[in-house]
Structure 1
Amino acid sequence: MAGEKTFVIVGAGLAGAKMAEELRARDFPGHVVLIGTEEHLPYERPPLSKEYFAGTKRLLDFTVQRGDWYRDHRVDLRLGTTVTAIDPAAHTVALPDGSTVHYDKLALATGSRSRRLPLSGADSSGVHVLRTVSEADDLLAAIRRDDGTAARLAIIGAGWIGLEIAAGARGHGAEVAVIESAATPLSGSLGPRIGTVFADLHRAHGVDMRLGASVREIAVDGGRATGVILADGSTLPADAVLVAVGAAPNIELAEDAGLAVDGGVLVDSSLATSDPDIVAVGDIAAAEHPTLGGRVRVEHWANALNQPAVAAATMLGIDASYDRLPYFFTDQYDLGMEYVGLAPPDSRVVTRGDVDKREFLAFWLDDDNKVLAGMNVNIWDAGDDIRALISSASPVDPARLADANVPLSDVAT
């Protein structure tokens, strides 16, 4: 209809799909254009290293919406299409064929890409990263064997993706080695004390944990990776190598368009960028957080799921603020964990429960004994209490916090 506004969403992952959902849920009557690089319908990414890799979920199980939803809700879904530029002055985005799409409002949900390593052999066949379902399929094909022999997988990096894939690969019968330069896994997220819990978990399940080790190069024979050569000259033979050393936010479009960026696209608590007609959500959004009192950018599923409600309101001129605490979760073997909040990894850690049995809570405290973050491991009724402690910003008594007989509601000083 003439005169209708057009809202364009760049990035067709979970965040982009949720943007389209929220706009229609709020009765936006105009055109919605959703543009994504992958050929697949928008899907969630956490299962790629969890249930999908383990073989307990299919892609359809974590696809955000079926294809007919986009048709029925008048969403112009353009898959296999990469936006090449944004012109804020003209209010257009450019496509590879030279055409442009006009927008009245624009949402950036461009996500992240896997970081690569500047190593000899890193571009060889048999070296994998994990960000897309196609990459997950390739890695699964590399470690599955029909002849009863065990494939050998070397994983560079003991972060969340690396450890989840290690657990999944062990479930498929693969021999797994994890190489990490830090002395413990997850040291940048959880610190060394809790990182040791995960090191012990993987060793108990037969993973060769090479901690405090660095990789010199990827061993290659005939153009294919055959293992990992460590800095000390030793070689870990492998049929496949996974590089799992983190992700880089896709902020180049925003930067080239002149938006304010600093390691992410800078947005206020309403998720508006430095251009009032452009919002940003998900991995790329470095947002002012009203509760945490600073700028936060985290690459967690929860942001992609929940930020679009606020960003859609902002696009429609409705006051909204994103104040949810950062949240992520993991499943490895028989360990399930949820983490909420945000804390420096060198913060003081207080635990309650049985750490050895991996049934415990952990809390990260600042110098004033305020709870910055909390984690529940195989305990599933503490999430609301942990959030309340963080949101209250009240000092706690560490001794009472560690005492499982004291309700979490009674630990404040």
Structure 2
Amino acid sequence: MPVALLALAMSAFGIGTTEFVMMGLLPDVAADLHTSVPTAGYLVSAYALGVVVGAPLLTALGARLPRRRMLVLLMALFTVGNLASAVAPGFGTLAAARFLAGLPHGAFFGVGAVVAARLVEERRGARAVARMFLGLTVANVLGVPVATLLGQHVGWRATFAVVAVIGVVAVAALAALVPVLPAERVGGLRGEAGALRDRHVLLALVTTVFGFAGVFAVYSYLASMMTEVTGVTATTVTFVLALFGVGMTLGALIAGPLTDHALRPTLYGSLAALAAVLLLFPVAVRHEVTALVAVVLLGMVGFATTTPLQMMVMRKARHAPTLASASNQAAFNLANAGGAWVGGVAISAGWGWTSPALVGSALAVTGLAVAAVSGRLDRSAPAGVSDYLPRARPIPSRRG
């Protein structure tokens, strides 16, 4: 695999760390800024809103930029957002800084996924994309727990300062390791936006929203499920979350080769497996050993859906993949927010702490149904229409 994938994975590690670490720092931030934990929770929403807004907006603005320059600029903006978070004097400015840090998230992964696929031969494209996303999974295994401990013992501002340093290193790595790649020749913004009107692309985005929402319906309340139902101690929850990250890493490693071999069967299989694991989750969490196994399986099958979902969008928007790829990252964040909201509604309705898993299973089945409809439309499409991404011109050996 090209060394440029290491720079993309390093960047993904920084982005994943700053995205999820706020959940563990909410009590510390709330106490320092003299606000409540629920109010501090809006900082999570501010970041997610930045992702949803920034994914299509920044991708569109940079449609004609060379890909390496685009990635460097996006990572530089990410770094500025985290540095601003570290020095924010109050809640309002911190919320604005979190929004700023979230703006490049979706665009970076959208552009990065297309770049990763273009760096390798066509039959290995999904594996390359999965390698980039490994940075995101490793962030959940190592980055988030370590950053949370740092924030709890040194101060939450130190966490964001360290993430900003990671951002600086990532900018340097991107500039040094990613080869010169021209922007896709799709007619600029109009060509990119036109891909989003394709029904196959829209169905792929809807599949992402429903299919992945089931994961966050449970993940958002996993700590409470473990303490209230399984009976583990609060200190063990960090270990449980790390196990979820281990499962995510396994899912990324497995999904890459499978997606390259057979995209749709991998998508169908991962969504069906996700629905099954979520359906059995309420039973599994009642015993500590089975609960830990279930957490690993949930992370594995949940993240196994991300590579085929990303590749499906990119291939359906094959003539203008970048904006569609970034929009899929926005769809993932809508899934995160929607899954958390639906899971919270189920708990508030008195259905119990494990009810989000059953709701999540229904969401995964819905995503599978949408994917099946999309597949049926594919089979009725004219013969000879390729799903694959346009290949880049030969990559020059000179780094420039």
Is the pair's TM-score, using the shorter chain for normalization, greater than 0.5? no
Give 1 or 2: higher strand fraction: 1
State the TM-score, normalized to the length of structure 2: 0.26
State the TM-score, normalized to the length of structure 1: 0.26
Indicate the structure (1 or 2) with the bigger Cα radius of gyration.
1
Give 1 or 2: higher helix fraction: 2
